[in-house]
Structure 1
Amino acid sequence: MAWCGPAIRRLLPAGRSLTDYAGQRFGPLLRVWTLGLSLLYMLCFLTAELTALGAIVGLLTGADGRWAVLAAARGITVALMVPVVAVAWEGLSVLRLFLIADLLCATAVVPLLLGLWPRASTGAALAGSVAGLIGAVLPSALASGSLTQGLLAATFPTGVPTLAPFAGALLASSLVCGLWIWLRPARP
């Protein structure tokens, strides 16, 4: 694919998608066909995601009946779609959203992994995750002298990931969770 990129860029310098390329290179009929295939793929992907969400809701709620799980999954899905529609309406960068999601995961990964240790408690995991959130903002806030700038930097406004929020999240969550476990170990 590396050698295809320059050729596609020469043919379609302002192109943004596969459907743009298909329309320019092969005409409007193939553009519509490519768009239809893309929508079909997204529909299949969304169906798989919603099926998995239904299974997760069933496991979390302990619902026995199939219809109860389906109703709960539909309710949660509708609730989750509100922010999705808001994000789509605003036209935010998907890369930026993935970076923010990765940063949020970095705040909880160490406490969750330490949860495999019998000495770890729920309090340690929660305290470590909260410390990870603070640690994600703190390095940039200290560097800029402003909490607002720290929060802004943790949302990657340029869409370029920086090490400080991730390192701060991992270090803070590890330190607080480890200290909590050391000072107040869970009783078996």
Structure 2
Amino acid sequence: MQTLTMAAIAAALLIFVLLGLRARHPGGLDDYLTARNSQTGLTLGLSFLASGMGAWILFAPPEVGAFVGPVAVAGYALGSALPFALLAWMGPTIRRRLAQGRSLTEFAAERFGNGFRRWIGVLSLLYMLCFLAAELTAVGAITALLSGIDGAFTIAAVAAATLVYTMAGGLRASLITDRWQGGLLLVLLALVALAALMAAAGDATAEAASAAPPSAATGLTVALTLVIAVTAANLFHQGYWQRVWAAADIPALRRGALLGGIATMLVIGVLGGLGLVAAGRGLELGNPPIPFFALLAEAPAWLTLPALVLGITLVASSVDTLQNALVSLGASETGRLGLRGARVLTALLMLPVVLLALQQVSVLRLFLIADLLCATAVVPLLSALFHRASTKAAVLGCLAGVVGAIIPGVVTGGSLAAGLLAASFPAATPTLAPFLGALVASSLVTAAVMVPLPVSRRRSAPD
């Protein structure tokens, strides 16, 4: 069985490599990084879906559904789709202002200067490295869980396979594989979900029936936390911004963002619903809880292979996007990187990430810290779309966001140290207070500096 599983993993990755190597770019660093003005709305929609749908969707949404309920699942789905709505709104404006742009950091520099640009670049880099490490860690865990094969094999295989075609074809290679991976993951998800639901059919156990459902307040709190965290962080995903300039035109960009957002909401909703089913049937969810895989444990043995291929597809689709995104960010920030340098940087950036993933340590806490830092800066960044916004407003807004993230912990813990500890999520659990504090404080200060109080008219001097 393990031989068949390894062959299936190798075959899936080989197909992705062959698809990626079919991509041809006219040459030059700009096309390597942006595939400028070349992609239809359908391709972009599938790419947005595939790029954001990593292996995390097999863990987080089902767990939220199982333990917090449908309101939180709805919040998760909304938070995952909202960045695409913002892309449809912001993207055309940024594209018109920077017709030859490559990244969000360039827009930040154009509006607020290089100091603000570097801070946005640091946040984007931190978030994407966390995302990349989490994806590779997850695919190793999925392989070990479903097949008993050492996860290191899959981590190395996915990293190597995606590197082959992203180094060769750049963003075009990622886009062409995303189109196939997006369709494949929808088919596989439908198959796996349907089979798992059929296997879990029957009456709920007495234990499940007697379990108290989560309160509506708890569901709303988690939903709001997820909306803020996921929306803020995804706006710092350079891979999404590359596709703003890859779109053939602005209507294609808007159609792609709309399609990607709707598909993402549906996928998160389905997986959250599977978590609800697993909890409702009283299945043993595990520790840490993995409701999706608890459903698979009740399913026929043949379902293991498509579920594993689903996991490989999810990880490959997000990893190749992140590889391109990191190189694009590096090229935009240094200004000295040629095509050969971009390819070398792609490989070099993967080395520490793979080493971290091989340790199989949890990166959830680091992910939450990166999400919170993004939440401190998202409103000041969005203010760049308004002509009244200034560098002072953006910088003070970011500083206020950091203070706002710490204050809730200071209030409850009674010290600065307690506030810093709470904002670092010691239990690796998302909590609303730091995110809400960051968002509210950054919004209020940015708005206050951006829109000064009216000056009283001077009295006219007497004749």
How would you bin the TM-score normalised by the shorter chain? Answer: 0.5 to 0.7
In structure 1, the partner of 2:431 is 161
CA distance in 1, matches of 2:278, 2:449: 51
User: 1:176 is aligned with what amino acid?
Assistant: V
Residues 44-92 of structure 1, C-alpha deviations (whole Å, 9 max, x = no match)? 321222123323333343456322222234444546x28x828964435
Partner residue of 2:398 out of 129, 133, 148:
129
In structure 2, the partner of 1:176 is 445
Contact 1:99 1:161 in 2 (8 A): no
Contact 1:20 1:31 in 2 (8 A): no
Is 1:143 the counterpart of 2:417? The answer is no
Structure 1 residue 106, shift from structure 2 partner: 1.8
SS at 1:120's partner residue?
coil
Percent identity between the two aligned chains:
35
CA distance in 1, matches of 2:279, 2:324: 39
Structure 1 residue 112, shift from structure 2 partner: 0.9
Gaps (5+ residues) in structure 1? 184-188
Paired residues in the alignment total 176
Residues 96-132 of structure 1, C-alpha deviations (whole Å, 9 max, x = no match)? 5554333222211121122223343334322221221
Q: Structure 2 vs 1, CA of residues 112 and 146 (structure 1 numbering), >3 Å: closer, same or farther?
A: same
Q: How does 1:52-63 map to 2 (within 5 A)?
A: 52-63=325-336
CA distance in 2, matches of 1:98, 1:64: 28
User: 1:154 is aligned with what amino acid?
Assistant: A
TM-score calculated relative to the size of structure 2: 0.32
SS at 2:385's partner residue?
coil
Partner residue of 1:116 out of 371, 382, 385:
385
Q: How does 1:5-84 map to 2 (within 5 A)?
A: 5-6=278-279, 9-10=282-283, 12=284, 14=286, 16=290, 18=292, 21-22=295-296, 25-27=299-301, 30-31=303-304, 34-63=307-336, 65-78=338-351, 81=353
CA distance in 2, matches of 1:124, 1:106: 16
Contact 2:396 2:446 in 1 (8 A): yes
SS at 2:425's partner residue?
coil
TM-score calculated relative to the size of structure 1: 0.68
User: How large is the RMSD of aligned CA atoms in angstroms?
Assistant: 3.6
User: 2:324 is aligned with what amino acid?
Assistant: T
Contact 2:278 2:285 in 1 (8 A): no
Q: Structure 2 vs 1, CA of residues 123 and 74 (structure 1 numbering), >3 Å: closer, same or farther?
A: farther
